[in-house]
Amino acid sequence: TSTPACCGVLPFCRTRKMDLLSSKWLVNLLVCCLFVGVGCNSVEKKIYVNLNYTVPCVRLLNATHQIGCQSHLSGNVGVLHVLESEENLDWVLHSGLTPPYLVILESSLFTRSIMMKLKNGSSRVAGVAVVTPNANPSQGTSPHTSCPNENTGVYTENYDPTMARCNVTVWNPLGTGLSYEEFDFPIFAMKEDNDTQVIRQCYMDHNRAGNGSTPQYPLCAMQLYSHMSAVTDTATCMRRNNINFSLSPEMVCDPLSDFNVWASTRPLNNTAKGHKEGESVVLAAARLDSRSFFFDIAPGAESGVSGFVALLAAAHALRNATQEAPPPRNILYAFFHGETFDYIGSSRMVYDMEKNNFAVDLDNIHSVLEVGQVGLHAESRLWLHSDPVSRKNSSVNEEVKKLILRLQSAASGLNVSVEEPGFSQPLPPSSFQRFLRARPIPGVVIEDHRSAFTNSFYESMYDNAEYLNISYPPDLTPDEQLEYVTDTAKVSPTLAVATVVARTLYIQAGGAESRLGSINADPQMVTRILYGFLVRSNNSWFQQLIPSDLRTGPRTSTWYLLANLTGSTVNVMSDTCFNNCVFVLLPQMYSYLWVQGAAPPNSTERVGFCMRSAARLSKALSPAFDLHEYTSKDYSTWTESRWKTIKGRIFLVASHELEMLTLGVGVGVLLTSLMLTYIMSSKADILFSSGREPANATY
């Protein structure tokens, strides 16, 4: 007689059997969870249609308030309603029986009047989706204010109160100020493509009421996610950033910041900051940035690109002349970032110059020539704007007069005329104003408008290549478009402006007038740069100049372009070029950038080279954040809220009664399941017991 070893102790034997049973249940549970997960994913795809191209309006904050848009944490859901006219708003705001509504707007209805009505009735509005057209509207519109940067320019109560706040000239008469409003619901832009066709079809099939009847469930709905973390103002969000209750604190906002790009015709020792004895500099400036109502849709063709492309082309036109016959004065090219938001870039450079934290200081600045909006829509005429207050100083006035005469002389023989406005008015919004806040400096701002802007789409998503009449024959490939120079391009406004600026800078720096005839902007170069910034940034030319691991934004593209247009190649390897290893013991006179280069014929391997130039980056962060003065009235205080999810989707929504019934059934099933689980658990020893043989059984 023997007892099996595994059953010699009955409790142990039962435990092993129960462990095996539990393991089987665990495996089955995991398999079920896997299938449920796959099933849920499949069900979600059947319920929701995700929108591919959605660009939100985001939240920005400054010293006093917040602007922009946001959704609830879980997104905003509303029944779709395609607004056909402003009179149709009554359905959304009052008479519709299935609020809240998510309103689909054609771009022609995206006006301040309609948006403010929706804002005031926001309890019935879940959000707005604006369908952006493939062509620009015929009527001009600007969501910016009518007086850009009115609080941070030079004209204040202390400088000349009569010219403050656009008292003399309203620069942007089409400005509605919509970009500076606060909306407590999300607003998205959508391209006119397949997504919008699906949305319209869903609306027509389910939501369109006929003959005054109420549409029947299920209804087509949309959900928009754009929850913003920051609230109230910059001081509040920066204080919340500094609250560290965890090892990985969550930031709620970031200061608007980037980098300025600058270079000089003669290299400046960037190691020794501050005043350079005997150095006289002519500052040539342009702004890099632009904005619109929607995040990341800011082409800025006339407001920004026309100016900095003209300055880039001018720098290229000056390269040979300044190397072969260097003028006595240095020319400093400066491309400022963040100028739309209270002159972030220019105010930072002035601050650094005052604190001896830049390669030169304000005492080294001889004069300023700024290139503003030069799209030249109305007529081929450039207007030279100067500051009437600083010109009361006789020495400043004399230098300004000389600069104006040189500009007019440089334009002779070209297809543009250069004139003064002919009456006293303040400077238009310009970076030069921040230099004048520090001290009186002679300077001129070149614009294509005499008084109010001729730009009908200032800081709008429609300020694009189409608005500058940049177009190509339909049968050209991207590479052919890049090289395509029309007869119009050879006499284009940007080309003429670049030539005028280049010649003027050379004479202003003390160069010989006899060389002016050889200083001309290259139409091929102007065409390429405009194509890269306004049509296709990922083109073969930009790929040759800009490393593939860098994002080709305005700052990076301008930096590498400026280096290539003004610099020269040096024979060093890529690692040395990247690290500047050879040059660390010398004063930092140059910067070194590795350029990918082109691939030889019948090869895919690019032949890179090292570019030596005086092109550099400097911080474009408002001094208010270094000084921790988040309520400053002297510097920009703009911050941008952080967010986690930006997306939109449509689906069919059931009636409230059916949703409640479904919820009730679900709760009932849950309670029943819990009860059955409890009963089965309490009776498990009976339900799952297995028979066993008597202990005294013999074999």
pLDDT at 8 over 70: no
**DSSP secondary structure string, 221-248?**
EEEEE--BS--S-HHHHHHHHT---SSS
- pLDDT score, position 23: 52
- pLDDT score, position 692: 55
* 381: phi then psi, degrees, rounded to nearest 5: -140, 130
Residues 6+ apart with CB under 8 A from 158: none
Q: Nearest-CA neighbor of 532 among 309, 216, 288, 236?
A: 309
Query: Three-class SS of residue 142?
Result: strand
pTM for the full predicted model: 0.89
**DSSP secondary structure string, 370-381?**
EE------S-SE
Query: Three-class SS of residue 249?
Result: coil
Long-range contacts for 116-120 (Cβ within 8 Å, ≥24 apart)?
116/181, 117/89, 117/93, 118/89, 118/92, 118/93, 119/181, 119/183, 119/184
**Pick the residue with more confidence: 11 or 309?**
309
pLDDT at 465 over 50: yes
Of the pLDDT bands very low, low, confident and very high (cuts 50, 70, 90), residue 7 is: very low
- Which tokens go with 43? 């069900």
Q: Report the percentage of the chain scoring pLDDT > 90.
A: 71
- pLDDT score, position 2: 42
- pLDDT score, position 17: 43
Distance, in Å, from the CA atom of 45 to the CA atom of 379, rounded to the nearest integer, reads 55
Tell me how crowded residue 85 is: count the other CB atoms within 10 A of its CB: 10
pLDDT tens digits for 235-289?
Answer: 999 999 988 776 677 899 999 999 999 999 999 998 899 999 999 999 999 999 9
Which strands make up the sheet holding 443-447, listed edge to edge?
A: 417-419, 381-385, 443-447, 365-371, 281-287, 330-336, 257-264, 616-621
Q: Nearest-CA neighbor of 125 among 89, 86, 176, 151?
A: 89
Residues 6+ apart with CB under 8 A from 436: 154, 387, 389, 390, 427, 443
Given the structure tokens 């054609």, which residue do they identify?
A: 106
Of the pLDDT bands very low, low, confident and very high (cuts 50, 70, 90), residue 41 is: low
DSSP letter at 76?
E
Q: Nearest-CA neighbor of 432 among 494, 386, 401, 383?
A: 386
Distance, in Å, from the CA atom of 617 to the CA atom of 630, rounded to the nearest integer, reads 25
Distance, in Å, from the CA atom of 342 to the CA atom of 340, rounded to the nearest integer, reads 6
Distance, in Å, from the CA atom of 78 to the CA atom of 201, rounded to the nearest integer, reads 17
C-alpha distances in angstroms, 128 versus 58, 134, 548, 642? Answer: 13, 19, 37, 21
- pLDDT score, position 250: 84
For the ranges 114-118, 489-493, 602-606, 627-631, the lowest mean pLDDT is seen at 489-493
Average pLDDT of the chain to the nearest whole number: 89
pLDDT tens digits for 495-533?
Answer: 999 999 999 999 999 999 999 999 999 999 999 999 999
Query: Three-class SS of residue 508?
Result: helix
Q: Report the percentage of the chain scoring pLDDT > 70.
A: 89
Give the mean model confidence (pLDDT) for residues 622-632: 97
- pLDDT score, position 191: 86
Distance, in Å, from the CA atom of 407 to the CA atom of 503, rounded to the nearest integer, reads 8
- pLDDT score, position 296: 86
DSSP letter at 176?
-
- pLDDT score, position 37: 52
487 and 321 in contact (C-beta within 8 Å)? no
- Which tokens go with 149? 């940067």
pLDDT at 9 over 60: no
Of the pLDDT bands very low, low, confident and very high (cuts 50, 70, 90), residue 687 is: confident
C-alpha distances in angstroms, 281 versus 333, 365, 403, 443, 508? Answer: 10, 5, 14, 12, 10
Give the mean model confidence (pLDDT) for residues 153-180: 94
Distance, in Å, from the CA atom of 159 to the CA atom of 202, rounded to the nearest integer, reads 58
Of the pLDDT bands very low, low, confident and very high (cuts 50, 70, 90), residue 694 is: low
pLDDT at 13 over 80: no
- pLDDT score, position 550: 80
C-alpha distances in angstroms, 117 versus 2, 4, 449? Answer: 92, 86, 34
